[in-house]
Amino acid sequence: MKITCSRKQAVGRADRMLYGHFLEHFHRQIYGGVFDPSSRFADEDGFRADVIEALRRIRTPIIRWPGGCYVSAYDWKRGVGPERVPAYDKAWRVEESHRFGTDEFIKLCRKIGCEPYICTNAGTGSAEEMSDWVEYCNLREMGSFAKQRIANGFPEPHGVRFWSIGNENWGGHEIGSKDADEWGRLVREAAKMMLRIDPTIELSAASIDNLDWNLSLLRAAGAYLDWVSLHGYWGNTRDGLVPDSYDTVVLHTGEDISGSIGRVRAYLTALGLEKKIRIAYDEWNLRGWYHPNLMEIWDRRRLRGEDEAFYRDRVLGERNKNDINAIYTMADAVFSASFLNTCLKNCDIVGMACFSPVVNTRGAIFTHPDGIVLRPQYYVFELYANLLGDTVLDGWTEDVPTITGRVWDDEKTVDAVDVALTVGEDGRCAAAAVNKDPAAAQRVEFAFLDGSPRERRIHTLNGPGVDSYNDVGREEVGVTVSPWEPFDGKVTLPPHSVNVIEMR
């Protein structure tokens, strides 16, 4: 494969928010994840210091919270102040203690050094409740909610810049789902009220790569929006335990990812909004969360007189299987890198992405009583966030090898090698190069039209095989770094690897 480029020919400037994350009140993400006052790793505020350090290490730029499906029945006012009254969580069918609320989220973000991104309740909530939340967070002292924040011990505004109106309200699975016309009207009215509280905030709204949904939303509320929110989970699992094979996973890395971006780009362009509104892929992962028996099965069995054992064991108990670390392999790393490469190569329209979630469930970090496990996808963020430049170059590729296979009844062909080439402010280039081939090394040749680098150093994320994973007491997947060596423009990428090539 050969890639030809010039430092003068760029796709655009990549926003660091492409390396963001997502946190929801589901299973052990909050309680027992980032927040665990009983842990020996807890700091003075009850946060896991080891998790915070891991998030600093990957320079986490932004975290979206509190949902997710959870937010569509969430009353934010129950999660602030000295008296936190537990309530039933209608999304995930557990009792929510409200010990972790808005102020705790802001504290967490400050400790990490990232931007807070709040997703509002557009399910059971109202436009007024959304704007009240902005008042609590962002007004200095005017209004009852700003005064409440001050009384709660936060005299300075939280200054939350990024806000999302709703979560997946296009879907029947969501509490308070809407049709396209309802959604456009609600987003418009909520945006108007939120911006009257603080006109400096940036607003997103739940969307999908559907023509009718986007036309209704953008015609009604496009004048008020800075972002449209997309979500994507690509890999299927049987009972949450048997993941797609590596060979199947790599077939999700082509049109499956880029297609949604291309379609939404077209909708924005058709309405003349492509320079105003960007895409926030604010939930994405290879593997959808495992939450079986959540709805109908439990309801039917209860009607037959079965007790809470089914709910305890087959609903809540099954969720623990999300945290079987053997599920998360080099397939997750290769997919995650391919996703980020696609975002980088579309950085003129994609400005934010939030890996879902940041900790436990399908997250990049796993917590246990004696520490944390860094799953393979964590190291993708470590490489990309710390080594890639902010300007993405527009390269011309030739002789790209391909992989062909079947996903269900469809035959798919994808590039075996995926490269995103960047340049930093110092003029140094860094390429993110993914070799998806499970067995064969691949060679890449770089040709610069405006002067070739003379040295290169390669950071390679890999494990012994495609199914390699990390666990407590087991570290199969990690990063190796070559020394600086003379560079003739050619590099060899090991099988099933993620690489960042520094050039100078």
Quick: pLDDT tens for 150-207: 999 999 999 999 999 999 999 999 999 999 999 999 999 999 999 999 999 999 999 9
pLDDT of residue 240: 66
Peptide bond into 66 cis (omega under 30): yes
Quick: pLDDT tens for 451-496: 999 999 999 999 999 999 999 999 999 999 999 999 999 999 999 9
Quick: pLDDT tens for 298-353: 566 555 655 677 778 878 888 999 999 999 999 999 999 999 999 999 999 999 99
| C-alpha span between 202 and 226 (Å, rounded) | 6
Domain boundaries, the chain: 15-295+321-387, 391-503
Our CA dihedral for 133, 135, 138, 143, rounded to 10 degrees, sits at -150
pLDDT over 70 (residue 57) = yes
Q: What value does the mean pLDDT of the chain take?
A: 95
Average pLDDT over every residue of 22-32: 98
Class of domain 15-295+321-387: alpha beta
CATH number 2.60.40.1180 is the correct assignment for the domain at 391-503: yes
Two structure tokens written together for 464: 């012994």
- 167 Cβ neighbours under 8 A, 6+ residues apart: 67, 68, 69, 71, 72, 119, 122, 123, 174, 206, 229
pTM (predicted TM-score): 0.96
The burial of 504, by beta-carbon neighbours within 10 Å (0-12 exposed, 13-18 middle, 19 or more buried), is given as: middle
Average pLDDT over every residue of 82-105: 96
- Cβ-contact 442, 496 below 8 angstroms: no
Peptide bond into 68 cis (omega under 30): yes
Quick: pLDDT tens for 215-237: 999 999 999 999 999 999 998 66
- Cβ-contact 393, 7 below 8 angstroms: yes
Helix (H, G, I), strand (E, B) or coil at 421: strand
The burial of 170, by beta-carbon neighbours within 10 Å (0-12 exposed, 13-18 middle, 19 or more buried), is given as: buried
Q: Which of 170, 190, 188 is nearest to 180 (CA)?
A: 170
Two structure tokens written together for 232: 């994507």
pLDDT of residue 299: 60
pLDDT over 60 (residue 68) = yes
pLDDT of residue 242: 79
Quick: pLDDT tens for 128-140: 999 999 999 999 9
- Cβ-contact 453, 490 below 8 angstroms: no
